[in-house]
Structure 1
């Protein structure tokens, strides 16, 4: 349980414009919406901060933790774990929505260089000298890129089931998911639960995993009464996936010497033991831990084991 002194501070740094009501009464679904705003510069990320109202002097002097979700995820996926990480470590925990995800601004630029710069700008806004970075999947790549290029800002690094030297075969399934999301149509004026059920039935034709469908459907939101949209910037994600998201940028001349932990799922193919030697060229101090009976979503499959591993690493000297 979280103590009564705990508080969750939400920072929505961007407010989307409302989508216009379609002229037809039957077509009530907007795949891309009319509220996509393009930014070529770093964006102000939406985030939630987990902190205590009565921080001790020691806690207030500790560097904060920033967490970024994976592709098609959001800060909401980390709500429970963020509270626990804050409680176990005494550190402020900040969960962000990556650009083109959740409540953060949409942008036509979707590279790890851009996503990393968003994190750097957030660190500056927080007036933090250093931070601990935690990232899952796409968020993991963002945090790795940040540590390699801005090592002076990073106290420790935690990467969850992501690989900077090899592309997982499973990652190519995202193209199928993008295509399935684009073909969803909703008629009538359904409630949100009904709309998600209707979308789920359509997605199931090509996305056979119920778990993945439920994860994707968290992005189906109501813009106005009876009008739905994907809150992720689907066109930009699809356009940049193969070249800028699935592939980690060439970083052969970069190195991060700070404490680093890679956490993999034993049932996932994203992070393999044969990759360790190449990864250690980028992260010489990296340690690797694998969670039994866990897949790519390690923190979801085995939250207790994940929490224990992460907090022990954060608390270690």
Structure 2
């Protein structure tokens, strides 16, 4: 297996910029979106089998690095090329003043064009799951199958209300200049602990703290933009009239309230061929809580897609 990574701090050239599709929205939209070129890591064999690649997008405040071991496992289990991406304003991808699922869908379409991928299986967790859902609804001809991890197009968990306080706490972190990254993380952890009580959550947030070439430490996520768009964009799935009829799998954590059993009927109106898997002992981050079971479920679904 070889791993190919790409990152660069500028937007796509004009030939790869994309116009809006003619999909019907219930809210006004602009006429044009300029996508960014997302950073990505591609896990692939020297000779790629002629099957659709799997594209993975993380959740809010996550990154492709969170999916490194899972990407390797899924590649090994299915012999399928796996491409893990950093969403805009996250990880190594460019920061941008716009952050919505419509923009993320265009970023994904631009990436498929850049990588010369005709059709792909899309997998997304939380925010990434919603971006993948919208991409499938707008561009079904590009999507071989869809895997949605613990998020719904119907409703949003009440725990989203905590995220704004997390973002605000991260913005208020004060770090002395030129401190090593480990010391910076200890300082940030102590300051975050007054707001973010759960140790695992703090550790996850601190994966976004990095050391610059100048020796200072900073957040790699665009906190200002993410906080600005949290309520009006990230917390709400766009209202569309489209339907995606392709193979679809929703994976729910038994300890999470992001997908409720009562959502199933309404979800199937939008995704008629949706299947549902429930993972016991897992919360919202199913892939972290039960990684072996997660890989098993995803691999089984992928193997049904030719």
Normalization by structure 1: what TM-score?
A: 0.87
Deviation at 1:225, TM superposition (A): 4.3
Higher alpha-carbon deviation: 137-146 or 225-234: 225-234
Classify the secondary structure of the residue corresponding to 1:179.
helix
Residue number in structure 1 paired with 2:188: 199
Structure 2 counterparts to residues 306-317 of structure 1, below 5 A: 306-317=294-305
Matches within 5 A, 1:108-187: 108-187=97-176
Quote the residue 1:284 is aligned against: 272
Shift of 1:113: 0.5
Three-state SS of the structure 2 residue aligned to 1:159 is: strand
1:75 to 64, 74, 82: 64
Q: Unaligned regions of 5+ residues in structure 2, if any?
A: 12-32
Segment of structure 1 superposing worse, 72-81 or 186-195:
186-195
- 1:260 lines up with 2:248 in the alignment: yes
State the 1:189 CA deviation: 3.5
CA contact (8 A) 1:15 1:103 kept: no
RMSD in angstroms over aligned alpha carbons?
A: 1.5
Computing the radius of gyration over CA atoms, which structure comes out larger, 1 or 2? Answer: 1
Mapped to 2, the partners of 1:172 and 1:281 lie a distance apart of 27
1:187 Cα offset (Å): 2.0
Distance in 2, matches of 1:53 and 1:85, equals 16
1:296 aligns with 2:277: no
* In 2: Cα distance, 1:236 partner to 1:309 partner: 34
Task: Check the 8 A contact 1:14/1:46 in 2, yes or no.
Answer: no
- Tell whether 2:9 aligns with 1:14: yes
How far apart, CA to CA, are the structure 1 residues paired with 2:62 and 2:294?
18
Q: Please say if 1:50 is aligned against 2:50.
A: no
Instruction: Work out the CA distance in 2 between the residues paired with 1:308 and 1:158.
Output: 13
Matched position secondary structure for 2:296: helix
> What is the aligned partner in structure 1 of residue 21 from structure 2?
none
Corresponding residue for residue 34 of structure 2: 41
Shift of residue 14, structure 1, vs aligned partner: 2.6
Tell me how far 1:41 sits from its aligned partner. 1.4
Secondary structure, counterpart of 1:224 in structure 2: coil
- Normalising by structure 2, we get a TM-score of 0.91
Which residue number corresponds to residue 245 of structure 1? 234
Q: After TM superposition, give the deviation of residue 144 of structure 1 in Å.
A: 0.2
Structure 1 unaligned regions, length at least 5: 1-5, 17-39
After the TM superposition, which segments of 4 or more aligned residues of structure 1 sit over 3 Å from their partners? none
CA drift of 1:316 comes to: 1.0
> Aligned partners of 2:95, 2:215: CA distance in 1, in Å?
23
Task: For residue 224 of structure 1, report the CA deviation from its aligned partner.
Answer: 3.4
CA contact (8 A) 1:264 1:291 kept: yes
Q: Please state whether the residue corresponding to 1:255 is helix, strand or coil.
A: coil
- 1:188 positional shift: 5.2
Contact 2:210 2:217 in 1 (8 A): yes
C-alpha contact (below 8 Å) 2:125/2:150 kept by paired residues? yes
- Pair 224,286 (structure 1): closer, same or farther in 2 beyond 3 Å: same
